[in-house]
């Protein structure tokens, strides 16, 4: 149960005065989480991105040109548009003791102008003053106010990100109404700590940002913004530390094995393991053999051999007479893992099965029975593995591939399929150090930085999109020489329908050149169609695969040696790196062509240069974080990861370690959050919706 003190913040935005059903719907579109109604808190955490400074109150003659000013004037004359059509602008001549100016209105309501600016009246007008055609003028003043109205005008006006149909005044009024309702909460920060940093209280910080005293007040480094960023980071770190502590108190089961089965599998490999793989396997074995529950992240660059590390970890528990599960985010990836591991497992006498959402009823029934009886050692599958009907005889280890595609809930659900299940999660998206702490602070981390011997570098080139004819001409030669090609179509305004249309168009164009040798795969296809298109490409039946970014993760086609990425400037760095990782997996020399539309912006230019300079996924991840922020790198906007609303890690990263240390200290001194300070921290957890941790406090 959420504490009652927070109810005003979690009340629907529609309950505020001035937010009617129509405006409420627009706010829901802008701020609602997962299709739900927007709440007061959502608006208060939707911080202004800019300001309009209306503090300058000069006389007309002294006013700076091409700047926003607020001037007191007298209305001298109305000049409606001449002629029958009356289509010209409506002008109002105004003056003060130093000079005159024209207020210009296009397509405006004449009655409204007459009412707002009656002849002879004194008014305050605020807007951009410019010199045009020998006259001072202000086109469509932002504000026309009498003396009383001026008192209510904020001298520095916050500017919000909006959606179509919403106006700044809607957001400003609603934010004011939400602030008026916001409760004063007990502070969860140590007063001496906040004082040293000159940070205001939580509510004062919100007021400072939504009612900025000057344009600097909303800067990410300003005290109020730092305070709120720290609150969010502290809630996140406290939740992670609590989940971690809970895992430890629940205890694990030591799974000991001499390692003969893993050694048998290793000897069947046509290559030797890298040093990084050996180190990761040693760390995992130590975790499996300890009495504590394992929660470990294995992160490695594209092609660093994570799947093999997972298999040898699974072999350890199988040798001990227990079972393992390996969960992949898509059916085609699950199938690929199964097909790749089945021959190795057969040689070593390990029994593995495949479980996906599309199995025939009889197959599924047989697999489920074998798992429950212990006749299967390892189950490989999609999220179908954590459905209720799936029961293991004795699940010891759950491996989750592409961790960021699954929410924490799914990870925990798989871990509950057995007694004290150890969990190993893997990602092929190298994660910057600050983000590892932020999102995976409840886990130990193993990092695979080495590539297996023999992995060839990919020659990366950038070409303007106008040279696409040359690229198509080059493909003729490459296909005749036996190559296979990925052709990735651009992201179109984050609109999947348009992405599909772009891919369809490119597919049809390339078919004119290469006929039936061209295949197509995109996210709107049915699962079976998508799998059939990928399998035809894997079997070398099609030579060119036109795709949206659905091919980004995992699927292995060693013969594919050319990657064409159209409109590369629209992709993030990590995504470009993942796509490039689809080639360079076989014996042939591989090429990645980045087609871009000129002129390139600074960020796009930097991305393309970094792609040409390096194939080091960890360096690329750090640069990607610097260039565009954490949410997109981990796909947290899609995956239910806790993306930040107030903290920006490129600016507030240094606060992360402080928050982490404070979270550890709190948990050592007050593990159940029972003290007054602990009770305030419970409010913080609920405020930032770290509900899992709040439940643990009660369960504790």
Select the more confidently predicted residue: 30 or 690. 30
Cα 4 → chain centroid: 31
pLDDT range class, residue 518, cuts 50, 70, 90: very high
Question: Distance (Å, rounded) from C-alpha 31 to C-alpha 624?
Answer: 26
Backbone angles phi, psi at 69, to 5 degrees: -135, 160
In this predicted structure, which of 160-174, 622-636, 662-676 has the lowest mean pLDDT? 622-636
Query: What radius of gyration, in Å, describes the C-alpha atoms of the chain?
Result: 31
- Overall average pLDDT of the 625-648 stretch: 58
What's the confidence (pLDDT) of residue 85? 66
What's the confidence (pLDDT) of residue 305? 86
What's the confidence (pLDDT) of residue 439? 65
Whether the pLDDT of residue 630 is over 80: the answer is no
pLDDT range class, residue 700, cuts 50, 70, 90: very low
Count of helix runs (H) and strand runs (E) in the chain: 27, 21
Whether the pLDDT of residue 687 is over 50: the answer is yes
Whether the pLDDT of residue 553 is over 60: the answer is no
Contact 119, 136 (CB under 8 A): no
pLDDT range class, residue 613, cuts 50, 70, 90: very high
Q: pLDDT of 49-81, one tens digit each? A: 999 999 999 999 999 999 999 999 999 999 998
In this predicted structure, which of 242-246, 294-298, 393-397 has the lowest mean pLDDT? 242-246
pLDDT range class, residue 644, cuts 50, 70, 90: confident
pLDDT range class, residue 413, cuts 50, 70, 90: low
What's the confidence (pLDDT) of residue 102? 97
Whether the pLDDT of residue 406 is over 60: the answer is no
Q: pLDDT of 210-250, one tens digit each? A: 999 999 999 999 999 999 999 999 998 898 888 777 777 77
Question: Distance (Å, rounded) from C-alpha 5 to C-alpha 181?
Answer: 11
pLDDT range class, residue 182, cuts 50, 70, 90: very high
Whether the pLDDT of residue 556 is over 80: the answer is no
**Domains in the chain, start-ordered, CATH in brackets?**
4-52+159-218 (no CATH), 55-153 (2.40.50.140), 250-448 (3.40.50.300), 458-614 (3.40.50.300)
Residue ranges of alpha helices (H) inside 271-305 are: 275-289
- Overall average pLDDT of the 605-634 stretch: 78
Place of tokens 């001026």: 150
Compute the mean pLDDT over every residue in the chain, rounded to the nearest whole number. Answer: 87
What's the confidence (pLDDT) of residue 441? 66
Question: Distance (Å, rounded) from C-alpha 112 to C-alpha 92?
Answer: 13
Percent of the chain whose pLDDT exceeds 90: 60
647-666 in b/e burial notation, b at 16+ Cβ within 10 A?
A: bebeebbebbeebbebbeeb
Whether the pLDDT of residue 452 is over 80: the answer is no
pLDDT range class, residue 628, cuts 50, 70, 90: low
Closest to 661 in 3D by CA, of 177, 233, 155: 233
Q: pLDDT of 335-366, one tens digit each? A: 889 988 999 999 999 999 999 888 888 999 99
Question: Distance (Å, rounded) from C-alpha 46 to C-alpha 646?
Answer: 8
What's the confidence (pLDDT) of residue 633? 43
What's the confidence (pLDDT) of residue 692? 65
Question: Distance (Å, rounded) from C-alpha 60 to C-alpha 66?
Answer: 13
What's the confidence (pLDDT) of residue 295? 84
């Amino acid at each position: 149960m959420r504490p009652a003190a927070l109810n005003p913040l979690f009340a629907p935005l529609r309950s505020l005065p001035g937010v009617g059903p129509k405006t409420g719907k627009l706010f829901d579109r802008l701020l609602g989480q997962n299709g739900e109604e927007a709440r007061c808190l959502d608006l208060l955490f939707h911080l202004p991105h800019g300001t309009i400074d209306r503090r300058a109150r000069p006389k007309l003659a002294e006013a700076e040109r091409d700047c926003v000013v607020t001037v007191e004037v007298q209305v001298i004359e109305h000049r409606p548009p001449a002629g029958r059509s009356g289509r010209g602008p409506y002008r109002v001549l105004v003056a003060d003791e130093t000079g005159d100016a024209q207020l210009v209105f296009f397509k405006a309501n004449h009655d409204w102008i007459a009412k707002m600016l009656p002849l002879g009246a004194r008014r305050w007008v605020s807007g951009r003053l410019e010199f045009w055609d020998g006259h001072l003028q202000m086109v469509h003043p932002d504000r026309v106010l009498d003396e009383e109205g001026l008192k209510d005008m904020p001298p520095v006006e916050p500017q919000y990100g909006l959606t179509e149909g919403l106006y700044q005044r809607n957001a400003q009024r609603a934010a004011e109404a939400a602030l008026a309702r916001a409760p004063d909460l007990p502070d969860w920060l140590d007063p001496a700590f906040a004082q040293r940093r000159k940070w205001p209280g939580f509510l004062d910080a919100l007021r400072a940002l939504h009612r900025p005293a000057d344009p600097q007040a909303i800067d990410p480094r300003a005290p109020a913004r730092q305070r709120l960023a720290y609150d969010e980071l502290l809630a996140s770190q406290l939740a992670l530390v609590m989940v971690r502590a809970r895992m430890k108190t629940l205890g694990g089961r030591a799974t000991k094995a001499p390692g003969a089965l893993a050694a048998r599998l290793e000897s069947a490999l046509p290559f030797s393991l890298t040093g990084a793989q050996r180190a990761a396997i040693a760390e995992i074995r130590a975790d499996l053999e300890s009495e504590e529950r394992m929660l470990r992240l294995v992160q490695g660059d594209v092609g660093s051999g994570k799947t093999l590390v997972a298999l040898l970890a699974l072999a350890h528990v199988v040798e001990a007479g227990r079972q393992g599960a390996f969960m992949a985010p898509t059916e085609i990836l699950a199938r690929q893992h199964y097909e790749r591991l089945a021959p190795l497992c057969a040689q070593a006498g390990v029994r593995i099965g495949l479980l996906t959402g599309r199995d025939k009823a009889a197959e599924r029934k047989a697999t489920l029975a074998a798992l429950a009886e212990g006749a299967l050692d390892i189950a490989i599958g999609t999220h179908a593995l954590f459905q209720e009907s799936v029961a293991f005889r004795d699940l010891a280890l759950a491996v989750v591939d592409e961790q960021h595609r699954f929410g924490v809930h799914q990870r925990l659900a798989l871990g509950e399929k057995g007694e004290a299940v150890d969990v190993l999660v893997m990602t092929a998206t190298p994660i910057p150090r600050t983000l590892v702490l932020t999102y995976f602070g409840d886990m130990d981390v193993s990092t695979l930085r080495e590539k297996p011997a023999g992995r060839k570098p990919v020659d990366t080139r950038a070409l303007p999109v106008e040279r696409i004819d040359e690229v198509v001409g080059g493909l003729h030669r490459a296909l005749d020489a036996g190559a296979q090609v990925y052709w990735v179509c651009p992201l179109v305004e984050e609109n999947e329908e348009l992405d599909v249309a772009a891919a369809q168009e490119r597919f049809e164009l390339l078919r004119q050149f290469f006929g039936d040798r061209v295949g197509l795969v995109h996210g709107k296809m049915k699962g079976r169609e998508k799998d059939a298109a990928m399998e035809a490409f894997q079997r070398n039946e099609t030579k060119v695969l036109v795709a949206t970014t659905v091919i980004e993760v995992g699927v292995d086609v060693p013969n594919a040696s050319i990657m064409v990425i159209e409109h590369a400037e629209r992709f993030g760095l990590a995504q470009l790196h993942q796509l490039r990782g689809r080639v360079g997996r076989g014996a042939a020399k591989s090429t990645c062509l980045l087609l871009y539309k000129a002129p390139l912006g600074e960020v796009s230019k930097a991305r393309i240069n970094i792609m040409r300079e390096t194939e080091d996924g960890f360096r690329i991840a750090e640069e990607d974080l610097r260039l565009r922020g954490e949410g997109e790198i981990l796909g947290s906007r899609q995956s239910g990861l806790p993306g930040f609303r107030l903290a920006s890690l490129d600016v507030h990263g240094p606060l992360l370690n402080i928050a982490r240390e404070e979270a550890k200290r709190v948990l050592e001194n007050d593990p159940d959050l029972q003290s007054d300070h602990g009770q305030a921290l419970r409010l913080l957890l609920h405020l930032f919706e770290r509900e899992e941790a709040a439940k643990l406090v009660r369960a504790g």
